[in-house]
Chain A
Amino acid sequence: MSFLTSISNWLDSIPVIHQFASPKILASVFPFLLEGAKLTILFAVLGELFGIPLGLLAAVFKLSKLKILRALATVYVDFFRGTPLLVQLYIGLFALPIAFPVIQKIPDFTFYGGVAVLAINSGAYVAEIFRAGIESIHKGQMEAARSLGFSYLKAMWYVIIPQTFRRVLPPLTNEFIALLKDTALLSALAITELAMKARYLSSWKANVSPFMGAALIYLAMTIPLTRLVAYMEKRLAISD
């Protein structure tokens, strides 16, 4: 018996640890948890991927001269930032399919619907990030572009928005971290992402250790990202 196995056995013999963080159980459920984590990452990445262009569009609308576009963006951002994601998921995945039964015919509706709600929700936060980023660019930049014959939108696309990237990257990463954690809410829709996997495994093993395992996996994803944000912010502070 190796040294590690004996430590593991000794830990498992302590009732609290066995119930809460049993090395044996953790080891046995780990591969299943990782499968859940894959789905978690997939949801978060897709949500952010579609959330960014959506948020960018909403930010440009919010800064537009046209009142109707500003109003549209305001309603969107206020609604999705002002209501819980869980309620948005219920509306998108339970209420809408009841109101419009055709939706139920879409194959893998729960998956696509989940991604859509996450993207739309994240877009509302991304919109505020880009709005602040765009507003931080000196107005002389827009004027110089316009004086060269750029239309407003072309000036935004080629001159203003590229300049916001460095500045919005840290808050966008923070938003991604938040989204990654928020995917746990998908368990309320029986989607077997990491948190849901942990719940199933926990009742299957009649032991809560899988939750600890899930927490560790979430941390393994979020801590490097948090450090990355800190690093980017430091670099930004130096270059400013």
Chain B
Amino acid sequence: MDFDIIFGNAARAAFGPEAIILALAAIGLNIHFGFTGLLNFGQVGFIMLGAYGTSVAVATFGWSLWVGIPIGLFLALALAVALGIPTLRLHAVMFAIVTIAAAEIIRILIGSTDAIGLTGGPLSVSFDAGAFFDLNPYADGPQDRYGVGTFAFTGQQMWVITVGWVLVALVSLIVFLIIRSPWGRVLKSIREDEDAARSLGKNVFWYKMQALMIGGVIGGMAGVIDAIKTSGADPNGFRPQVTFYTYTALLLGGAATYMGPVLGAILFWFLREWIESFLRQLSAEAWLPGAIADFLEGSEGIISVAMVGLALVLLMLFRPQGITGNRIEMQLDAR
């Protein structure tokens, strides 16, 4: 059992591209769910369109990556409008159902054999993200490593990470600026009582639409980073659980806070990787009874997700506002 390795793995996951993607997805979801109270259960749909928009533009149409990225973001925006127009006037539960269904429908369409010519269908699509890595300032030889022990990245990863975290910081700043403004105040009023907002002259539908669009485009950014990181996209990567991981991260960090989604994403990946590495080392220990070792072997990933879920349950029980949330605000719900 080598805890340095376990910790190194966990730290690498916590600061690597996966955490960045999750952080962006959670920042977008925070605008929907945290600040506006929209129950978006299809955040993965926005991520997927960001990733596929970029990938397909470059791989299928042969356009430049710098054209592909805006196309990915635009598709995420278009999804927000397409979802919002028919459903934002309906009850919150309807909206939740439609979003989860829409994301699944899109995934099934993208992954269908009929779409092979366009999206690669069930096969993944892949493209050359050279345009992005040409700008990489980090030396990227086969021997180049940045970090210590298992907490180390390649030059290419370093470039994705640098751009990614700068993007997370920038997006967080913009979200901070718009949420503390009178615009953000209207969102919070809608979250609490739509009719109160209406009675004060606020066009609730339009504000919700704006929130849906912004959060959706930020979700699209997560998809763009994902596409660049993997130089492509795979329909299996966009199953509904992505949305639920995003909710987990958001709730861990604290919904309706500025840093919550970022801290939550880091924590999510840290915990998940720590537990998985730990279990993997554990299952290799000689003293472990054979039955338990067999049980663990190969299921470390699933068990670790289950453990993160358990952590979320405990958090909701003992600190429902998340790590950074405001306890007093939570208590007002009970009145």
Whether A and B are associated in the same complex: the answer reads: no
Residues of B whose CB lies within 8 Å of any CB of A are none
Residues of A whose CB lies within 8 Å of any CB of B are none
